[in-house]
């Protein structure tokens, strides 16, 4: 068995294999993968021959099936064997781009080679199936034992769970719930398969190999400075000073963010709440905007009873990072608050 191949050997062997096809099959396949030029669509090739895009697809499929018989007796069979092995360890399904990249890494090929050649060789393998083009999805390869119903069920379950939560989730947590929900119907569901299936759909996006969410939320694929700030807050899960936030955004996204710029962004967007001197949190975490006095008044309104100084301080510090002296100073606001007894306060009575 051949265990070493280089990019030149693959291209030379592939061109030799193509010589066994009809001239039209050769032309369609080489133009589709951009061998010697740019990749062309089915429609553009069809326009050249005066035939429909579906007829072009049929010519391409026939040629690829012929290639399988020739590949099996050539050194290029090693690519198919490698693809089968990688798919097996990945749960039986991978997007085209990820599978091709994995083969390049496994065989240690040059990254500037023609990926289309590898794709055709994989597609010609009768032990591997290729998905049909569909809007909103990436092309993927899968083994024949993978049920299309299971692919659809995994996708539907992920969307339902994410919409219900309304926020990103850790992939590990989401996958465990999906497995629990689908196992009674489909039997054991592999984690790798779930991960591969959710790579297919454009409406889902993953981040840092740990989180997953809906692409429309723009949380894991942020474009604006506000979105990037929200991303960092959700990643850190803690209050952050605006100077530290500017540094974290710059380091994570590889772009310089000025401290004044991020501070202005925090001030003008109500998604963020100031809870201390320069310290911000997300409003979505249950924080309300306002001064320390506003917080104290809200505490009294909810308690509906006089409170001690210690109790007020403890409650304020749950939502604000301020000094105890600042809280005590606000308690001296005689227009809003009155002292009753030695160490008790309440809202000033009308």
- The DSSP element (H or E) to which 241 belongs, if any, is strand 240-241
**pLDDT tens across the length of the chain (350 residues):** 445 688 889 999 999 999 999 999 999 999 999 987 889 999 999 999 999 999 999 999 999 999 998 998 899 999 999 999 999 999 999 999 999 999 999 998 887 777 999 999 999 999 999 999 899 999 999 999 999 999 999 999 999 999 999 989 999 999 999 999 999 999 999 999 999 999 999 999 998 888 999 999 888 889 899 999 999 998 898 999 999 999 999 999 998 999 999 999 999 999 999 999 999 999 999 899 999 999 999 999 999 999 999 999 999 999 999 999 999 999 999 999 999 988 899 998 86
Nearest C-alpha neighbor of 225 from the set 260, 261, 251, 252: 261
* Domains of the chain and any CATH numbers: 7-138 (1.10.10.10), 148-217 (1.10.10.10), 225-285 (1.10.10), 292-347 (1.10.10)
From 56, 31, 62, 141, select the one nearest 94 (Cα to Cα): 141
DSSP string, 10-29: HHHHHHHHHTTS-HHHHHHH
What pLDDT, on a 0 to 100 scale, did the predictor assign at position 36? 76
Give bridge partners of residue 241 from the DSSP assignment.
Answer: 279
The C-alpha atoms of residue 252 and residue 186 are separated, in whole angstroms, by: 40
Tell which residue, 132, 205, 121, has the closest CA to residue 171. Answer: 205
Its pTM stands at: 0.75
Q: Which residues of 130-157 are buried (b: 16+ CB within 10 A; e: fewer)?
A: bbeeeeebebbbbeeebeeebbebbbeb
Q: Are the CB atoms for 150 and 182 separated by under 8 Å?
A: yes
Contacts of 290 (CB under 8 A, 6+ apart): 298
pLDDT at 3: 55
């Amino acid at each position: 068995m051949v265990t070493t191949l280089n990019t030149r050997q693959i291209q030379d062997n592939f061109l030799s294999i193509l010589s066994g096809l009809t001239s039209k099959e050769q032309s369609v396949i080489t133009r589709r993968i951009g061998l010697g030029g740019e990749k062309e669509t089915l429609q553009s090739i069809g326009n050249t021959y005066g035939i429909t895009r579906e007829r072009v697809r049929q010519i391409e499929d026939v040629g690829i099936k012929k290639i399988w018989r020739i590949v099996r007796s050539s050194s290029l069979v090693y690519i198919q064997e490698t693809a089968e092995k990688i798919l097996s360890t990945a749960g039986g399904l991978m997007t085209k781009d990820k599978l091709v990249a994995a083969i390049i890494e496994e065989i240690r090929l040059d990254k500037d080679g023609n990926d289309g050649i590898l794709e055709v060789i994989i597609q010609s393998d009768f032990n591997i199936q290729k998905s049909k083009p569909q809007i909103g999805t990436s092309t993927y390869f899968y083994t024949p034992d993978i049920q299309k119903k299971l692919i659809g069920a995994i996708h539907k379950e992920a969307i339902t769970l994410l919409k219900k939560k309304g926020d990103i989730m850790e992939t590990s947590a989401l996958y465990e719930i999906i497995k629990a929900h689908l196992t009674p119907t489909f039997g054991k569901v592999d984690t790798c398969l779930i991960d591969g299936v959710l790579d297919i759909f454009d409406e889902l996006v993953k981040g840092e190999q740990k989180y997953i969410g809906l692409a429309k939320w723009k949380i894991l694929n942020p474009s604006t400075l506000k979105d990037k700030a929200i991303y960092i807050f959700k990643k850190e899960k803690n209050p952050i000073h605006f100077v530290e936030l500017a540094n974290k955004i710059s380091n994570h996204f590889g772009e310089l963010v000025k401290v004044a710029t991020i501070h202005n962004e925090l001030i003008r967007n109500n998604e963020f709440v100031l809870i201390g001197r320069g310290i911000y949190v997300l409003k979505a975490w249950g924080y309300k905007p306002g001064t320390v006095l506003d917080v104290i008044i809200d505490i009294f309104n909810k308690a509906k009873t006089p409170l001690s100084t210690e109790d007020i301080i403890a409650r304020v510090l749950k939502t604000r990072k301020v000094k105890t002296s600042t809280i005590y100073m606000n308690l001296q606001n005689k227009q809003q608050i009155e002292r009753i007894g030695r160490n008790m306060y309440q809202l000033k009575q009308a």
